[in-house]
Chains A and B, each alone.
Chain A
Amino acid sequence: MASAASVALISYSDCCQGFQQYKGRFPIAYESPGALLFPAPSFLSLHQKNHIGCLRATRRPSVVCAIRPKTGTVTQTSWDNLVTKNESPVLVEFYASWCGPCQMVHRVINEIAVEYKGKLKCFTLNTDNDSAMAEEYDIKAVPVVLLFKNGRKHSSVIGTMPKEFYVAAIEKMLAS
């Protein structure tokens, strides 16, 4: 039990490193370890019921740590540290507040963040709040997923794609 707890904690801080420095700004406390480990059975069914798109895209829902976000948030100010200077490969999901498909993609990226922990850092960027970054990377239609390796843009996936499509792009980048 203790080992399971430590593994889960490490993986969380590992994939959401970006939160550490901004911890104070978020209203939800991310530190308490209890909530992360055992999602209640009722929560499981809720997750499956509400995420049809996710089920269709992946066929196999993975509920590992659904209470906390698995992706960090990146803004213009944290961009250099989290993306360009990051030694790990990075995935950034550009979204807009009222974009329905973005939420669908977000669920897929959440799954990917869990499955690729330690190999890939996943972040989201709200284009409504951060137009400077959106303009720099010429984001027009959202959602857009950009993949970075060694601080440079490697590839981009525009629009709503099935999970396999994102996984293929990530594998291609990791292998390059």
Chain B
Amino acid sequence: MKALQASIAYSFPISSPAASPRRFSRVIRAQADPSDKSMEVMRKFSEQFCRKSDTYFCVDKSVTAVVIKGLADHRDTLGAPLCPCRHYDDKEAEAKQGFWNCPCVPMRERKECHCMLFLTPDNDFAGKEQTITLDEIREVTSNM
């Protein structure tokens, strides 16, 4: 029991120095493009979830690209891929709460993604693809 308490106590000084520089970088990142790492994480997640849920990307890939970029941006700034297609009173509280973190509850329960990232095949806007490359994302969002 004592050993367990000690390990909990030690975890705090280790995690807190790591947390503060991250908080610092938030301010800078909010202005710029999302980090390459988050972009790659969200791109891979989108492809995997598409296959897993039998859904497809939008026929207009720029929609897909912008949403993936938005998710990556939220992952950088909030620590969670909060849905970029909603308005929140308090983004931080919402990201912690988790209902609208991608894949959101309506998507997991009813395959409803109003962001049009994951579209069921019967949707008018659904394309035939379940993959998107980083280059594609960069290309279609370059003039934003």
Contacts and interface: CB of A to CB of B under 8 A. Distances in A.
A140 B71 CA distance: 17
A47 to B, nearest CB: 12
Contacts of B60: 51-53, 56, 104
A98 B115 CA distance: 10
A139 B88 CA distance: 9
B39 interface: no
Given A53-B125, A141-B114, A159-B114, A96 B85 contact: yes
Contacts of B65: 100
Contact of A142 (B59, B71, B87): B87
Contacts of A141: 85-87, 114
A32 interface: no
Contacts of B103: none
B64 interface: yes
A142 B86 contact: yes
A157 to B, nearest CB: 13
Given A103-B63, A159-B114, A98 B124 contact: no
B87 A140 contact: yes
A135 B87 CA distance: 9
Contacts of B59: 52-53, 56
A-side interface size class? 20 to 34
Contacts of A127: 87
Contacts of B87: 94, 96, 127-128, 131, 134, 139-142
Contacts of A131: 87, 89
Given A100-B67, A100-B115, A50 B62 contact: yes
Contacts of A51: 60
A156 B89 CA distance: 21
Contacts of A94: 87
A99 interface: yes
A140 B85 contact: no
User: In this complex, which of B60, B63, B87, B116 has the most chain A Cβ atoms within 10 angstroms of its Cβ?
Assistant: B87
A82 interface: no
Nearest to A55: B60
A101 B70 contact: no
Contacts of B71: 98
A102 B62 contact: no
Nearest to A139: B87
Contacts of B80: none
Interface string B105-121: 00000000011110000
Contacts of A140: 86-87
A134 B117 CA distance: 23
B89 A135 contact: yes
13 contacts: A53-B62, A53-B63, A96-B85, A97-B70, A98-B67, A98-B84, A99-B66, A99-B67, A100-B66, A100-B67, A100-B70, A101-B115, A142-B87
